[in-house]
């Protein structure tokens, strides 16, 4: 294993037998992660649990393993399958500019007729518009949970919100389906209505997902709220210590009203394919991430009485 350090990130190159992994995500299909680790270093990152399996002792966000894999020789075997690129990393990390792993993956998936979902916080994806258009059924999703660049900088090391939204427009204008993924929604901080107004003419889907605090980062986020937003401490205590859902139940109604006001569809259990009229994105909410279960599309929330 070759290991170097660049810009404070420990970079290693590793061999992997198969880049395609059967997905345990609600969206089903396959997960594809061209890298191990994620240098965006989001404070709320659920993927930090991966350290349990990778053997890394370094802090999450300070290491990156660049995968090398055997070429995908029969991409047609993934026809009709959902393929999620970036479930526990971002395929368009800054290091992608050097290693081009994601572009190599997309090249190998040409002709697959797979339903590809790219999840990113980057504008580097614009580099691959030509290739994405060749692939056909591709959706590109950007995480945007604030318009406040200072809050964004407190939470992650990814590119600015302005650059993400600009990239979304370029991809949308190229005829590629786009998603604005408002995730996670920080209670009392995330203004999803303001985000919607800014992106509604350049996205086909507008996803919402609650901040789900668990594991080691729960204390990190609650300490951050205590230091930077002390007025919100009672609200976070109600939601994350007393497990009161009123806030997100009210937010769900607010999202539905917003959709209706703007002539948009509102759903909570599917991700229909296709383009929508400009200014009328489909609003999809996943306010209870911990209750999403698998389905043929993007998961169905457990209803009362389900097991």
Report d(CA 66, CA 99) in Å as an integer.
Answer: 8
In angstroms, the CA 44 to CA 154 distance is 11
**Helix intervals (H) in 140-181:** 149-155, 161-173
Give residue 307's pLDDT: 30
From first to last of its 307 residues, what are the pLDDT tens digits of the chain? 556 777 789 999 999 988 998 887 666 689 999 999 999 999 998 776 666 667 777 888 889 999 999 999 899 999 999 999 998 999 999 999 999 999 999 999 999 999 999 999 999 999 999 999 999 899 999 999 999 999 999 999 999 999 999 999 999 999 999 999 999 999 999 999 999 999 999 999 999 999 988 777 899 999 999 999 999 999 999 999 999 999 999 999 999 999 999 999 998 756 666 778 888 999 988 776 454 433 333 322 233 333 3
Round to whole Å and give the CA distance between 249 and 244: 10
Q: Is 27 buried (19+), middle (13-18) or exposed (0-12) by CB count in 10 A?
A: buried
Token couple for 118: 């790219």
Tokens of 159: 């590119």
Domain ranges for the chain, please list them. 137-307
Rounded to whole angstroms, the Cα distance separating 12 from 5 reads 9
pTM of the model: 0.89
């Amino acid at each position: 294993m070759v290991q170097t350090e660049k810009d404070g990130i420990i970079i290693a190159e590793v061999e992997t037998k198969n880049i395609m992994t059967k997905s345990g995500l609600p969206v089903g299909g396959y997960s594809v992660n061209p890298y191990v680790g994620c240098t965006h270093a989001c404070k709320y990152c659920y993927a930090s649990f991966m350290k349990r399996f990778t053997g890394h002792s370094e802090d999450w966000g300070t290491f990156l393993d660049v995968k090398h894999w055997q070429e995908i020789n029969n991409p047609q075997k993934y026809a009709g399958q959902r393929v999620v690129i970036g479930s526990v990393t971002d395929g368009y990390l800054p290091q992608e500019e050097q290693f081009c792993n994601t572009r190599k993956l997309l090249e190998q998936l040409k002709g697959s007729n797979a339903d590809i979902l790219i999840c990113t916080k980057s504008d580097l994806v614009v580099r691959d518009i030509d290739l994405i258009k060749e692939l056909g059924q591709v959706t590109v999703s950007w995480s945007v949970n604030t318009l406040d660049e200072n809050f964004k900088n407190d939470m992650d090391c990814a590119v600015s919100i302005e650059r993400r939204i600009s990239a979304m427009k370029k991809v949308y204008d190229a005829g590629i389906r786009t998603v604005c993924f408002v995730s996670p929604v920080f209670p009392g901080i995330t203004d999803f209505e303001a985000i919607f107004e800014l992106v509604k003419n350049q996205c086909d889907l507008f996803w919402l997902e609650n901040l789900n605090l668990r594991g080691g980062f729960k204390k990190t986020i609650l300490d951050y709220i205590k230091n930077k937003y002390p007025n919100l401490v009672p609200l976070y205590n109600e939601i994350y210590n007393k497990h009161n859902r009123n806030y997100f139940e009210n937010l769900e109604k607010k999202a539905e009203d917003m959709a209706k006001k703007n002539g948009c569809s509102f759903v909570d259990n599917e991700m229909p394919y296709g383009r929508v009229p400009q200014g009328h994105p489909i609003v999809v909410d996943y306010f209870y991430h911990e209750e999403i279960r698998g389905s043929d599309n993007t998961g169905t929330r457990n209803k009362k009485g389900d097991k």
